[in-house]
Structure 1
């Protein structure tokens, strides 16, 4: 399990930000120590300052270890704890300086170190997390300085807000890029594996199945049944070799991958080389339409009828057609079937497409087969 996590972390584009945060924490703690040393004579209770720096140093070690490990980066618990401890350390300045002195101009000893949880929340939760951290630190600073000194700390508040916003936005962008990178790597690996398997299958299994099909058809009799089975398995293997990732950006689904499994020795499925991404609900309804259309072919088009399912990506629309070379019928008979209570055409096909806001047309004639043509929006 640890090896898997290590490999995942090595591909995490946010990892440099977490490492930079650790460096920031350590360096700014050093700045806080230097600030205490440089103002030593002006500190009311030096022992309180030492205690505060010790607490800050101990938490810097804990937070740095956490941000350097997978468990500290996988959720916001450590970042929220960092925020609470940092605010507590800001109030610990009261151990070294009276509140009146702080409101009179004495420094809050945490200094820039207090910006650490703002960056952590920005990395962990994006823009909103960064702004939340900046608001919390700003309110704590305002409560220490007092409302009368709000103008004096305005620049600090602005820097905190800008830091949270910028780091949060950068983290969100990198997180999205990381997700797309992982999807691209997975797709590339899957494509490479399909190519490797495809070569092996083509050089062995497919050639044997093709030979069985030819010889069985030539011999006839019981061998013809074996030829039919071989042809079906050849189609199934070719369909498997043509498979590709099912989902795409924003959770949309590839209509082509849903339709390819319909291919048999009597059904040809023709799809574009690229994905045709649709909302899941739309793609599911179109699959149901194709099932109903092919079911009608089996029931009414004749035992020797062949079917073709064709998908065309028109940009804003998808054109889906289902055609067969069966016995065909007349438009009047289709309408009469609906009136007689046979609802496959009126509800399962036309009804579904209408509900999707699309259009449907049918062309048929006795002896010329039937062709359904459906258009739906890709949005």
Structure 2
């Protein structure tokens, strides 16, 4: 499951928990009212059967309150049993009270099942339950009065509206949780930026100055330190705020990768048309390719040639980054990761895997080739 999907699921469960706790109170109140009405009227043609039906309502209410309290038990089978019990009590009414009854045995008690369907399955579930209960209520009556049509209308209105409200509450909770997560991530990025600025950047600046002063090989070391300082500063600037791109925003991966070509050292082969992906996917794939190209320059040589190939596979995209260097020695990547040097693990593999994709490495005397396969509907 994606990160956003997990957040939305947790938010939906939290909303359902509160609504089902409120529904437990509603069920108890409605049961008390139904018991009082049946005791007051006591108009059963078959009293024993009638009070057995009342007992079923009591047991059903207790069972529903207990079962619905746990999110993992709110499955389709439980919801169907709840609705079937309400339908069975409606069907029992003409048998227990006689054909010309006025009010059904369960009365308003059936709204418990209706509201449970609305909370769990949204407006569609609420509407389906209302249609079933309303149809049964009308079919069992020998004479349908205007008030009966009105009751069915209220069932339909209540089920669909509460279901719609439940869906909106779940979406709002998911959006709130996502916003809180983004705010926390932004705060953490700001904290890390301060740490990097106060420590690493100052050291790199010092190495750059001292290297230039000493000259020789130290000058080359200073130049490299200067490049890394600028890279870190650019990274800090780019991460200083949370991206405002919405989930529906897309960008052209082909254009983004095309900007990496320099005409001599880096060659990029692209499809004829645009390759549209979510903005976050494009940013992360481009960053992984850039990290691969930087590794070639750093470990093979500044003049090493790199070939980047982008293919649109329909349901996924595939990007390969190839060089003709000496390859990576066996065990070198694992040794680097164990030593805390996580360039490949995080900058390359980590980015692709976070998108739900796969990063494959082929290396040897023939050179090194990274292949990134990212589904269009991966993590976000």
Structures share fold, TM-score greater than 0.5: yes
2:293 maps to 1:291 = no
Match of 1:63 in 2: 64
Change (3 A) 1:241 1:48: farther
Match of 2:52 in 1: 51
Match of 2:22 in 1: 20
TM-score normalised according to structure 1 size: 0.61
1 CA distance for matches of 2:93 and 2:166? 32
1 CA distance for matches of 2:88 and 2:101? 20
The alignment of Structure 1 onto Structure 2 pairs a total of residues equal to: 263
Is the CA contact 1:9–1:15 (under 8 Å) kept in the aligned structure 2?
A: no
2 CA distance for matches of 1:158 and 1:207? 72
Shift in Å, 1:162:
1.1
Shift in Å, 1:9:
7.1
Change (3 A) 1:222 1:33: same
| Deviations 1:262-318, CA, capped at 9 Å, x for gaps | xxxxxxxxx9985244746x41x2x321321321355499xxxxxxxxxxxxxxxxx
1 CA distance for matches of 2:266 and 2:50? 90
| Deviations 1:58-98, CA, capped at 9 Å, x for gaps | 1211211232222245x555333321222123223356323
Q: Secondary structure at the match of 2:97?
A: coil
Within 5 Å, give how 1:292-311 maps onto structure 2: 292-296=258-262, 299=265
1 CA distance for matches of 2:180 and 2:11? 15
Match of 1:361 in 2: none
Relative contact order, higher structure (CA 8 A, sep 6+): 2
Match of 2:244 in 1: 275
Structure 2 unaligned spans of 5+: 1-5, 268-306, 311-380
2:4 maps to 1:38 = no
Is the CA contact 1:90–1:110 (under 8 Å) kept in the aligned structure 2?
A: yes
Change (3 A) 1:224 1:162: same
Match of 1:89 in 2: 89
TM-score normalised according to structure 2 size: 0.61
2 CA distance for matches of 1:84 and 1:238? 64
Q: Over aligned residues, Cα RMSD in angstroms?
A: 3.3
Is the CA contact 1:80–1:121 (under 8 Å) kept in the aligned structure 2?
A: no
Match of 1:326 in 2: none
Structure 1 unaligned spans of 5+: 245-270, 302-343, 349-379
Within 5 Å, give how 1:130-141 maps onto structure 2: 130-141=126-137
Match of 1:205 in 2: 200
Is the CA contact 2:118–2:124 (under 8 Å) kept in the aligned structure 1?
A: yes
| Deviations 1:127-175, CA, capped at 9 Å, x for gaps | 11111111011111122114x4164410110110110122112112111
Is the CA contact 1:52–1:93 (under 8 Å) kept in the aligned structure 2?
A: no
